[in-house]
Structure 1
Amino acid sequence: MEKKYQVFVSSTYIDLLDERKEVTQALLELDCIPIGMELFPASDEDQWSFIKSVIDDCDYYLLILAGRYGSCSESGLSYTEMEYRYAIDTGKPVIAFLHQEPELIPAKFSESDKEMQEKLASFRSLAQKKLCKFWKTPTELSAVVGRSIVQLKKRSPAIGWVKADLVPDEGASQEILKLKNEIEKLKAELSKQSNTGVDPSDLAQGEEIFSFPYTAKAKHGWNDYVEVQLRTEISWNSLFASLAPSMANESDERNLQSKLNQTISKLEEKVISKQKNFSGYESYAVVESDILETIIVQFRALGLIQKSTKNRSVKDKHTYWSLTEKGDSLLVGLRAIKKI
């Protein structure tokens, strides 16, 4: 089924008219639908809510950054940066295109205010932490965007859009969803019956200690952080007691990641607060996603959790986890208050 992909194009406007024209043409040639909010100034909360809803509906987010930082909200951030941060926070596939030689951009298209220059530099630094490409001319930008979008669609497949006459009717959609759920149930049953080849007695569990690294962060300003790499130690029972309540019904991995960060932040609170340049500042712990993946695999191998088989929208691509009967029993044993 032929699909078109909606791409949110975010940038300042007047200084990048030629660049936006080239990018729009490149996207159209790739069967993409370019969407830009530069004609709808985000002057109030309602308008910002609308912009967020548009980003939510897009398949990909594209940032063009040159010599201007853009108009700022009351928070001090430009709306372009707010859009970028929102796309990152919501897990939208993003790619940034940064001018390779910003010092050569004409003065009329560059920030003259020192504070705005510093904000722009900080924004560039933030964008370079994710997937980004560089360009010098509008024509070069068009070519780079074309190649990059093709790669991005392969690396991060999106839902896309199709013509209404190609979409199954409501009855067909319900039947597809029903069959999908049946397949998931059968997979779950097969998983229960299959032998993983792992003897649970050979696995770390209970009060045995799991040691792993994490990043401690202290926020010094609106976009100024101090970081230090540390390690923590926690028992498997403590980890399960902390994460399992979220899966008593079901929980996706984003929620579990947040819960894991909160758990380690609380566990390591005293250690983090004693770090250099951390005193008096908001601080917290961030655990890499691969650590959560290891924890999930361990809980699965121990027979404590399983993929949820609840019905949900066919557009929902997140992975959800729920407790097995064994996991629920362990949770009750760990968290129930015993009489003195």
Structure 2
Amino acid sequence: MDKRYQVFVSSSYEDLREERQEVMHALLELDCIPSGMELFPAADEDQWTLIKKVISECDYYLIISGGRYGSIGPSGLSYTEMEYRHALDIGKPIIGFLHKDPMQLPAGRCEQTEDGKKKLLALRELVQKKMCKFWTTPAELGSVASRSLVRLIKTTPAVGWIRTNQAMDSVAAGEILKLKKTIDDLQTKLQEARLSGPSGSESLSQDEDEFAIHFKFETRDASREEWTWDYEVDLTWNEIFYDLGPVMLNEASDIDVRTALNQTVRERSRKLRGADKNLKGHTALSRTFTVSEHDFQTVKIQLIALGLIAKSQKARSVKDSRTFWALTPYGDQVLTTLRAIRRGPGLEAPGPQEDAAEGE
């Protein structure tokens, strides 16, 4: 029979939202049924009674630990530890996923009190007594969780759930229908999350906010003497992404992105350079435009923070150590909005301005 397994995902919540989303997505790709605190409905039962009931109904139990111990329950333990100990007590198959180096996490995602740090350390030691894996990034966690659960299912088969047309019991059939609706609702939520900016990105510089990009270029004057100039141009983040986005529609290497940014400052600074009296009679050498390393890295980090680009996950040869970048689903949506041609005059994005001649 074609079974689906219900998996309870336990962790602290606010500091591990992105990590939980990656694990939930990995579980859905394995045709599993995720369960966790964000899916609990309003009920007359007290919270801990409901949590124990859900864990008991699940086939497998996963715990994710980062830099926080978690919210404290009535017993003085965090709900995360209470859930883990309950899963141990009732004999659920368990996998633990511990952050490899929680001390490297931002301060806001770590315990601030000595008591909290001690309790977190004790929980990590407890988790390591069972099957345990380590992670450093949300993407790595999703991958590790997927592989680990596949192995656990093979070594420790559980009861699972089956389709209604395979069920012999009408009550079981009704429960499966409810769980299928849960999956559909969760898939919708995941899709919505992937088509919006990351939580907190609204406070970052973006859209029509400007960023000063420093760059160098060379010119040749009328006597064919060559000059080197240090320049800067103010560009909006929409202008930067308008130019760089198409390069990453499939994927682009670091070198490709750098070349595209060099081309952007060259084209976008034409009007500024054309008005500079010091450049009168000079011909810009087009291949010499080079953005500063600091500003190139800042542009990449900002686009990552805004949820527009991410490292490409395509499999490559072990000999290929280059870094490749690709648009996120959200980035693809933003780029389409920026570059799609609209009806009516004056609605296209402004193009680069013409200025003095440029040579090779």
Name the TM tier (shorter chain).
Answer: 0.3 to 0.5
Instruction: Give the TM-score, by structure 2 length.
Output: 0.45
Instruction: Give the TM-score of the pair, scaled to structure 1.
Output: 0.48
Which structure is larger by alpha-carbon Rg, 1 or 2?
Answer: 2
